Structure 1
Amino acid sequence: MRKSLPVLAVLGIAAALAAWYWHSQQGVGLPAGLVSSNGRTEAERIDIAAKFSGRLDAVLVREGEMVEAGQIVAVLDAAEVEARLREAEAVVRQTEESLNEANALLAQRESERVFAERELQRAEQLAERGHTAVETVDLRRADHATAVAAVASAKAGIGRARASIEAAKATVQRIAADREEHFLKAPRAGRVQYRLAETGEIVAAGGRVISLLDLTDVYMTVYLPTDAAGRLRYGAEARIVFDAAPQFVVPASVTFVASEAQFTPRYVETASEREKLMFRVKVTIPPEILERHREIVKTGVPGVAYIRIDPETAWPEAFAVRLPDGS
């Protein structure tokens, strides 16, 4: 056992030296139009949060599980909102009955108007022949005017009833939308990174429940010096080679270049790079490639990004695209 300790120490030193040598050689021998930088893969993170406070009835997904867009991932207790929805639906039925009553009242008032109009016509004819008093004609005119006003009032009542129905139905739609928000859904396909709350817990409004990684938006953040970043164009071609699978070459493109230089972060492996002002660059893998290989796509995987800053420079044969499916 004691003899094996020096052997393990030697092997550990050898592995460390090999890793240092590999990193130190990145970019050595590249054509003038290519640059390289190391980094780690990242994915766009989506936090699925509760719109309303309440108790979690169920969390339906596990960490690491793939979910599809629109899939229900968690359910909030909706007993209260369902009660409000039934109450609002009852109000709709009440307002519809009010409309029926308003229609019936209009029919009655219209009948009274027709009768008053005929009575007025008869009174006017009798007055022309001298068989009735002028006061009787005036009374019939007043009755007719009252009947016409009653019809107008009944029509206004129908308008109010219809407006009440629309308002009640809008309330039903709003509460139904609130109830739908109690079913938390994935806004897009991805892999569950974290379950941030568990069944039975009470979450606040806006409280995060599930953290999801969008595996169709995976990129590597690298840092380039000023001379390279100044020549870089959006959409520039790139290649990514991962430490864990150097036999594959993954195509990518530049989708972001920082507008200001900065000191590179502590996790950049090469000390000399950390001492320089660099520009942050995002190199993104095409979504169609990620979709084909989403079962093996991971974040946090280290590798090296090779970026073509001169579009006239040809890619060396070593950087021909090679993917796990042979394409």
Structure 2
Amino acid sequence: MSKYKSFAAIIPAAALVGWLGYTFWQAYQPQPERLQGQIEAQQYNISSKVPGRVDQVLVKKGESVERGQLIFTLLSPEIDAKLEQARAGQEAAGAMAEQAEKGARSQEIAAAYDQWQKAKAASSLMEKTYKRVDNLYRDGVLAEQKRDEAYTQWQAARYTERAAFQMAEMAKEGARVETKRAAVEQARMAAGAVAEVEAYAADTRVESWHRGEVSQILLRSGELAPQGFPVVSIVDMDDAWAVFNVREDRLKAYREGQTFQAVIPALSEDSHEFMVSHVSVMGDFATWRATDTAKGFDMRTFEVEARPVQPIEGLRVGMSILVEQE
């Protein structure tokens, strides 16, 4: 009986010793390190190329938007006025080009022809007058000065006739090729000015270039929006990634293309698979650890980005992500 009592006393003592031994062994085992990062996602700011007053913001915070969806509109009377000016200039340039192409009107050609006939008659008269004065000069009736004056008036009338004839020919032929081409180019330039202002006017209706979720609305209806100032910001959670600062002695486990398991406490205790997509080419010299006497050098950190292998439902920007390192 005493033998059984001795065994009964030894068994609890042995169990206690074994438990204490295992506890001490566990205490001296190297503990896994926990690496903590956070979730980030691609963010886009939606703004306008032109300044104006916000007319309507057509989305709400937290709303999902698609590419090409109208986000907000602007009021800009200045652009409307410039568009009217540009269109008027285009009409004027087009009329000038049409006039250059068609040439002078029939009435203008007839008027130029009549001016030539008038100058021609005057020249004929001055020729006859000079001949009469020249005969009188030869007969000794008039002085040489009178003959010279008549000759000069005749020559002037001849030049006037030639000028009138050239003007009539110009009216008949129409504008020169260079003039027509210049008028056409002026019309094209005016059309380009209209297209430019129309592009600015179209930019008062701003659409999203990306799909995502509205994260911020920075300006409301009635507020002035400067050129390029973001009115709405969206976040694309389909383009999300995790960011870690990894100590350099652990960096070999996070090369591009490598995968690892991580836990997102805000979602569940289940692990998710991530793949390293980028490792910073420069170390962060602001975050470091003092010299490790065992290793003999200061520890720098490098930023590592990793993307989920499979989409994770409920993922949000700023969530913590944990990785157990052996």
- Give the TM bin, normalised by the shorter chain: 0.5 to 0.7
Instruction: Determine the C-alpha separation between the residues in 2 that align with 1:106 and 1:248.
Output: 86
**Residues 253-279 of structure 1: CA deviation (Å, up to 9, x unaligned):** 3323241133549xxxxxxxxx95321
- Structure 1 residue aligned with 2:224: 202
Q: 1:204 to 1:62 in 2, by over 3 A?
A: same
1:28-107 to structure 2, matched below 5 A, reads 28=32, 37-105=35-103
Match of 1:241 among 263, 266, 288: 263
Counterpart in the other structure of 1:159: 181
In structure 1, distance between residues paired with 2:50 and 2:287: 40
- CA drift at 1:167: 0.7
Distance change in 2, residues 1:305/1:199 (3 Å): farther
Q: How does 1:181-220 map to 2 (within 5 A)?
A: 181-220=203-242
Cα offset, 1:304, TM superposition: 1.9
Measure, in 2, the Cα distance between the counterparts of 1:305 and 1:107.
88
Supply the distance in 1 between the matched residues of 2:82 and 2:167 (Cα, whole angstroms). 45
2:319 corresponding residue in structure 1: 301
**Post-superposition offset of 1:47:** 1.8
Give secondary structure in 2 for the equivalent of 1:255. Answer: strand
Instruction: Please give the per-residue CA displacement for 1:167-190, whole angstroms capped at 9, x wherever unaligned.
Output: 111111111111122222222111
CA contact (8 A) 2:249 2:299 kept: no
Q: Offset of 1:48 from its aligned partner?
A: 1.8
The answer to which of 40-49 and 248-257 deviates more is 248-257
Tell me the C-alpha RMSD between the 2 structures. 3.8
Distance in 1, Cα, partners of 2:187 & 2:216: 45
1:130 aligned partner: none
Q: Distance in 1 between matches of 2:254 and 2:273?
A: 19
Q: Is this contact kept in 1: 2:38–2:320, CA < 8 A? A: yes
- Name the counterpart of 1:222: 244
Q: Structure 1 pair 176/76, CA: closer, same or farther in 2 (3 Å)?
A: same
Q: Give CA-to-partner distance per residue, 1:28-53, whole Å, 9 cap, x none.
A: 3xxxxxx9622111112222223332
Give the conservation status (yes or no) of the 8 Å contact 2:67–2:211.
Answer: yes
Secondary structure at 1:246 match in 2 = coil
Question: Deviation string for 1:89-113 (max 9, x for gaps)?
Answer: 23222222222211210797xx99x
Residue 79 to residue 223, structure 1, CA distance change in 2 (3 Å): same
Q: Aligned partner of 2:319: which letter? A: V
Offset of residue 300 of structure 1: 1.3
Structure 1, gaps ≥5 residues long = 1-26, 29-34, 116-135, 266-274, 309-327
Equivalent position amino acid for 1:47 in 2: N
Structure 2: gaps of 5 or more residues: 1-30, 114-157, 289-297
User: Are positions 1:279 and 2:302 aligned together?
Assistant: yes
* Residue pair 1:42, 1:220 contacting (<8 A) in 2 also: yes
Identity %: 21
Cross-structure match for 2:278: 255
Q: Distance in 2 between matches of 1:150 and 1:230?
A: 88
Q: Is the 8 A contact 1:241 1:249 kept in 2?
A: yes
Asked if the contact 1:242–1:304 (Cα under 8 Å) also holds between the matched residues in 2, the reply is: yes
- Tell me the SS of whatever aligns to 1:199: coil
In structure 2, distance between residues paired with 1:307 and 1:84: 64
Secondary structure of residue in 1 paired with 2:269: strand
Distance change in 2, residues 1:61/1:223 (3 Å):
same
In structure 1, distance between residues paired with 2:40 and 2:97? 60
Kept in 1, the 8 Å contact 2:101–2:175? The answer is: no
Distance 1:306 1:62 in 2: 39
Map Cα deviations across residues 130-183 of structure 1 (whole Å, 9 max, x no partner).
xxxxxx9xx99x958984798484322221221111111111111111112222
Q: Quick check: 1:54–1:77 contact (8 Å CA) kept in 2?
A: yes
Whether the 8 Å CA contact 1:40–1:220 is kept in 2: the answer is yes
Structure-1 residue corresponding to 2:142: none
CA–CA separation in structure 1 for the residues paired with 2:254 and 2:101: 73
Change (3 A) 1:237 1:306: farther
Q: Is the 8 A contact 1:78 1:182 kept in 2?
A: yes
Residues 237 and 307, structure 1, Cα contact 8 Å, conserved in 2? no
Aligned residues between the structures: 240
2:278 alignment partner AA: T
Output the CA distance in 2 between the equivalents of 1:46 and 1:248.
29
**1:174 to 1:50, Cα distance in 2 relative to 1, 3 A:** same
AA aligned to 2:35 is: S
